[in-house]
Structure 1
């Protein structure tokens, strides 16, 4: 049985361990803040704040921004924590590499063109953002918090996250490659 300290240096963790951790984190989120884990609204708020820097107070008058409020809140802290935690985890495990723009799986399928990889990642991120706003939440909002609350809309969303991911992976790695 490995110790907790040695588990921190692993590059991959058991999905059961991670699932239990996410469950505990979700429970603590509800207990402490009374809010579910979710992140996609943070990116919509960030876009609104950028628009506000350019257009001024007119941006806040958009109905959507009036609804979500352009402010830095606990979701921002969650997103920042995910980035910092990922960096710490990759550093402790020895998996962090400066200057690696193209993962080996991508490189073996599509070559090592960093510009293509960044372009596809940006397009994918934009599509995910639109999908999250269209679905009224992201994988963490629907897939974790919503399914824990047994919300039917979240279960439907989560099922289609997996279906869409499987289809996309087959298209990208079997048809294109």
Structure 2
């Protein structure tokens, strides 16, 4: 049972991901989480308000299984396949996070200073959610897809726009980590 609780090695997960991508390409399908949001909005009737949502959502029902799989898989992983091991982090990372006011670094996957109800319902937390949500939504629409769509499907299809988008995602992540995060905390 302890083997199940360990992260799967790259030589197992890499080929599994490659097989899934091969099957998607073979059947002419693409993968991405942001396309599911568009499908949900189209199902709810958003096409009456915006032409962007005027799509035949019935052709995308298969892709909604990705959302349900992510939710169910996350639940199973958290409640049945997780163990209480500490995350090994670089000492410089720990020191930097402590200077931002984070405690118990490496004890959880996400810091409770950001991901607990008190933090979410604070003025700062609400602003982070609203501004961050707007930026993610704008960036996803502007880039023509999300990180999973570009980094997994787009790169698997050798699409240059996806390579450019992924490079932009990494640059944005570096800017956030090194310049914006210190301003927030």
TM-score (norm 1): 0.70
Q: Following TM superposition, by how much is the alpha carbon of 1:114 offset from its aligned partner in structure 2, in angstroms? A: 3.2
Extract unaligned runs of 5+ from structure 1: 97-101
Q: Following TM superposition, by how much is the alpha carbon of 1:16 offset from its aligned partner in structure 2, in angstroms? A: 5.8
| Alignment-derived partner of residue 121 in structure 2 | 115
Distance 1:106 1:80 in 2: 26
The number of residue pairs the alignment matches comes to 157
1:75 lines up with 2:63 in the alignment: yes
Query: Which of 6, 17, 22 is 1:27 aligned to?
Result: 22
Cα RMSD between the aligned structures? 3.2
Q: Following TM superposition, by how much is the alpha carbon of 1:130 offset from its aligned partner in structure 2, in angstroms? A: 2.2
The answer (yes or no) to whether the contact 2:41–2:53 under 8 Å persists in 1 is no
| Alignment-derived partner of residue 8 in structure 1 | 4
- SS at 1:9's partner residue? coil
Query: Which of 131, 147, 157 is 2:155 aligned to?
Result: 147
Distance 1:87 1:143 in 2: 24
Distance 2:64 2:119 in 1: 32
| Alignment-derived partner of residue 41 in structure 2 | 47
Q: Following TM superposition, by how much is the alpha carbon of 1:48 offset from its aligned partner in structure 2, in angstroms? A: 3.5
Q: CA separation of 1:138/1:104 partners in 2, compared to 1, >3 Å: closer, same or farther?
A: closer
The answer (yes or no) to whether the contact 1:38–1:140 under 8 Å persists in 2 is yes
- SS at 1:150's partner residue? coil
The answer (yes or no) to whether the contact 1:9–1:93 under 8 Å persists in 2 is yes
83-92 vs 15-24, which moves further: 15-24
1:49-101 residue CA offsets vs partner (Å, 9 max, x unmatched): 33x2xx8xxx34743223x33445111111111111111111122369xxxxx
- After TM superposition, the runs of 4+ consecutive aligned structure 1 residues lying more than 4 A away are 12-17
The answer (yes or no) to whether the contact 1:8–1:89 under 8 Å persists in 2 is no
Looking at secondary structure, tell me which structure has more helix per residue: 1
1:105-158 residue CA offsets vs partner (Å, 9 max, x unmatched): 3518xxx62314762245423322221122111112111111111110010001
TM-score (norm 2): 0.68
